[in-house]
Amino acid sequence: MSENEYLTRKSRIDPKLRVAGWDVVPYREGSSLSVYERCAIEEYPTENGPADYALCVNGEILGIVEAKKVSLGPQSVLVQAERYARGITDTSFNCDGIRVPFLYATNGEVIWYRDARHPRNRSREIAGFHSPDAVLERLQSDIDRECLQFSTVPDNPRMRPYQREACNAIGNAIAERHRAMLVAMATGTGKTFTMVNLVYRLMKAGVAKRVLFLVDRRALAAQAVRAFASFDTEQGLKFDKTYEVYSQQFHRGDLDDDDPFDITVLPNAYLTDPQPGHAFVYVSTIQRMTINLFGRAAAFPCTEEAEEDAEKMDIPIHAFDLIIADECHRGYTSQEMSIWRSTLDHFDAIKIGLTATPASHTMAYFKHKVYEYPYERAVGEGYLVDYDLVAIESSVRMQGIFLKEGETVDLVDPETGQKTLDILEDEREYPSEQIERSITSIDSNHKILEEIKRYADEHEERYGRFPKTLIFAVQDIPHTSHADQLVDAAREVFGREDAFVQKITGKVDRPLQRIREFRNRKLPGIVVSVDLLSTGVDIPDLEYIVFLRPVKSRILFEQMMGRGTRKGEHHPDKSHFTVFDCFGGTLIDYFRQATGITAEPPQREAKPITKIIDDIWNNRDRAYNLRVLVKRLNRIDKEMSGEARDLFRKFVDKGDLKQFAVSLQRRLEEDFTGTMEILRDPDFQNLLVNYPRPPRTFLIDYHTQDGVASTWVVRDSAGQEYKPADYLTLFARFVQENPEKIEAIRILLDRPQEWSTDALAELKEKLTATPQRFTIENLQRAHQVHYQKALVDIISMVKHAAREDEELLTAEERIDRAFAAIVDGKNFTAEQAAWLDRIRAHLTLNLSIDEEDFEIIPVFADHGGWGRANRVFGNRLSRLLHELNEAIAA
């Protein structure tokens, strides 16, 4: 640009200084600094030449601003500001020869800043100048002292070891002068609680006073406020009784009926006029803060939470010392990502990104990943549960639908829902990606649900409860809703009442209340959603997750999976959750090799076609924008209706937009002005955006019979997956190669007379602890699938693994055989027979027995325990139990 430095200063830099509260005045020789209160003094003399601006407060120079014309980059000229700072003599400040604490360099658009009080402080770009009050406040801070104090503030005693590690890692990073950092913790590991503990320690140490906790939904804001309100400090007070906690106004539907906290709305003055004495936490949605900073026009597009009461305010860059951006992987489009970054960039604060699914664009912003607690480690340490996989093979989902001539379908009008019967006059083919978008197969949805019901019935028989189930549908579009169809089909397939199967999407009444009911109550047992429940929803007792929706985003996939990872709340025996991949296991395969940091970029937001044309006209990256325009015109040609083609006749020959696109480069070369006249015509540009589209069609297919089958797959601790046959081969190899490592295996194979409850306990414990996760449940399911034998007992499994001719028995069959060998045919009194019935029932459940059981098991203890039982058997009960144990293990 031709703008000179003087014009840059007057038109760009001076206004920014004034907005920040500085009075821009010329230097007057001989004047005392006391007369320059809160002034940016122009051309302030130093021994190394005049500084462009000297920032003076309370009679002392506290900042130097080096100005450059707008065409120059300011980052590299901070050294010039430092040179002038070394040339100032009338100041008490001195840091290795630098006589002013704060240095700035700017071209009027970009501002770089450095706190020169410590050589480790790194320069950084800031959105505006600090106000005089902000400069004074910074002058009082001592980050080294505050970080030392941080290390002495105790963690909440409920903090887990890895949560303490995360807090300390952040504290160390701040001490090392990091200003942006990322914390990656698996869903369900207590990220919010960890951050509340961190905020308390930082506030008490003085590292931060004013804290912004950013979320992207009001429900998550309410969840965060609840976390602060329930946090206990070491003084025995709740957090919100120690420091002020503010939020926006919530809707009643955002809150639980028994929420313990009071809603305290942040006074606007806390944002517009931050004071050094303020010490508070403000929980806000990022949508609201964006409106506060930039106005409603800058807010996230198409958000369901419009923040109607939010207004634009003049918020200085020092309003917050610390910003925690929860779920910072959000922002699936480039436009959302830009808005999200602009909001965070406004503040000169320490920024901590918090996520379960770090992405490359997230890492690019926060730069420094200070701590990671991955899902695999959380499972290994027992804080989360792992998952089993059921791969459901559906020919419709994998291969699509082929309709033959003469078949009958229903045509659905997506605008009204009206159905029309149609008999096909020719064949039609729909690839798998069009299922539930252009066509639905009634039989396919029913058969997939029937397959899931088989597993649910088995689960209910084993555990005595129906597995709480979340099904992800493809879409919830009115009149063609896949979610609605699944709800109706599930009610029929599972044979339950309407309340048992519910839809929870943004289209239902009071969705947040429905989510809480799903979380806290027995009903609904099955919920169908699209993506409302994919993130930020805590449902600890969820045991089945069904993917009937194809997903290509690793972030979204892992967030969906994260709904099932938490340990059970009402069902503490929840040992795992089950994922039903209704695309033959291809979803799991697709994401199996994903790295910890995905290369997945945010979705591109389409650049307005008017902007593309304007860039071509102004020769801004013309070749690139021409290629983009050609692609865009071709896409419009494919999507437009016949009516649109007639409308385009006014601008291009025969309305043939494709031919116009093909010839566009030649046209521009031969007649640039004339071609641009067409492209820049407002009516043409309006038509390019609002061209008539053909009406959407949707078919209901009643004829196609889907082939549906499923395969249960077990995962080891390293994430390796095995089909049942392979898993049993692995188990057989383990048993054959490890009898010397597990004494119980040697007993079962060679010394059955030594079988006992201790041997059984050792066997279960050591098998479960293997990397292959040889749990009884996994082994029983593998035997059921491979040998069609349900509920095989652990003794049979070990013996059969060692010697294939050994019979597979259930626990009941094994105990019946042992009793037949030891007890049957002998005479017993009625009281002895009653005790034998109790012993049989106990052995069926436990496969071993010892004297101690008679004192601690209620069914024995309630009838007199060991003393009574032994007397009934004439003091020969020990021998009988030994014989039974041996017969069981034989």
Structure confidence by residue, pLDDT tens digits, 751-780? 999 999 999 999 999 998 888 889 898 999
For the segment 68-94, the average pLDDT, to the nearest whole number, is 90
220-234, 246-260, 266-280, 437-451: least confidently modelled range: 246-260
Whether 64 shows a pLDDT value over 90: the answer reads yes
For the segment 487-512, the average pLDDT, to the nearest whole number, is 90
Give 601's pLDDT tier (boundaries 50, 70, 90). very low
Whether 329 shows a pLDDT value over 60: the answer reads no
Question: In this prediction, what percent of the chain has a pLDDT beyond 70?
Answer: 94
User: E strand or H helix at 824, and its extent?
Assistant: none
Instruction: Catalogue the E-assigned strands of 109-234.
Output: 111-115, 124-126, 180-185, 210-215
For the segment 271-286, the average pLDDT, to the nearest whole number, is 92
Q: Rounded to an integer, what distance in angstroms lies between the CA atom of residue 863 and that of residue 858? A: 8
Residue whose pair of structure tokens reads 């804080």 in the numeric block: 383
Whether 339 shows a pLDDT value over 80: the answer reads no
**Quick one: DSSP state of residue 72?**
S
pLDDT at residue 602 in the model: 45
pLDDT at residue 537 in the model: 65
pLDDT at residue 363 in the model: 75
- Are 322 and 202 in contact by the 8 Å Cβ rule? The answer is yes
Give 334's pLDDT tier (boundaries 50, 70, 90). low
pLDDT at residue 328 in the model: 64
Structure confidence by residue, pLDDT tens digits, 864-876? 999 999 999 999 9
Whether 600 shows a pLDDT value over 50: the answer reads no
For the segment 720-729, the average pLDDT, to the nearest whole number, is 90
Q: Higher model confidence: residue 747 or residue 254? A: 747
pLDDT at residue 222 in the model: 83
Considering only CA atoms, which of 772, 817, 761, 769 is closest in space to residue 794? 761
CATH, range 386-592 = 3.40.50.300
Instruction: Catalogue the E-assigned strands of 49-162.
Output: 51-57, 60-67, 102-106, 111-115, 124-126
242-256, 351-365, 637-651, 789-803: least confidently modelled range: 242-256
For the segment 527-542, the average pLDDT, to the nearest whole number, is 78
Q: Are 144-380 and 386-592 in the same CATH fold?
A: yes
For the segment 124-149, the average pLDDT, to the nearest whole number, is 94
User: E strand or H helix at 429, and its extent?
Assistant: strand 428-430
Alpha helices in 544-641 (DSSP H): 554-561, 586-592, 609-617, 622-639
Whether 270 shows a pLDDT value over 70: the answer reads yes
Mean pLDDT computed over every residue of the chain: 89
pLDDT at residue 129 in the model: 97
CATH, range 144-380 = 3.40.50.300
Domain ranges of the chain: 5-138, 144-380, 386-592, 609-690, 723-809, 814-889
pLDDT at residue 596 in the model: 40
pLDDT at residue 255 in the model: 59
Considering only CA atoms, which of 713, 798, 687 is closest in space to residue 748? 798
Whether 221 shows a pLDDT value over 70: the answer reads yes
For the segment 594-613, the average pLDDT, to the nearest whole number, is 61
Does pTM top 0.95 for this prediction?
no
pLDDT at residue 735 in the model: 92
Map residue 159 onto helix, strand or coil: coil
pLDDT at residue 586 in the model: 85
CATH domain 5-138 topology: tt1808, chain A (3.90.1570)
Q: Rounded to an integer, what distance in angstroms lies between the CA atom of residue 526 and that of residue 358? A: 30
For the segment 543-559, the average pLDDT, to the nearest whole number, is 84
Give 683's pLDDT tier (boundaries 50, 70, 90). very high
Backbone angles phi, psi at 715, to 5 degrees: -110, 140
Reported residue count of the chain is 890
Give 538's pLDDT tier (boundaries 50, 70, 90). confident
Hey, what are 2's tokens? 């031709």
Question: In this prediction, what percent of the chain has a pLDDT beyond 90?
Answer: 66
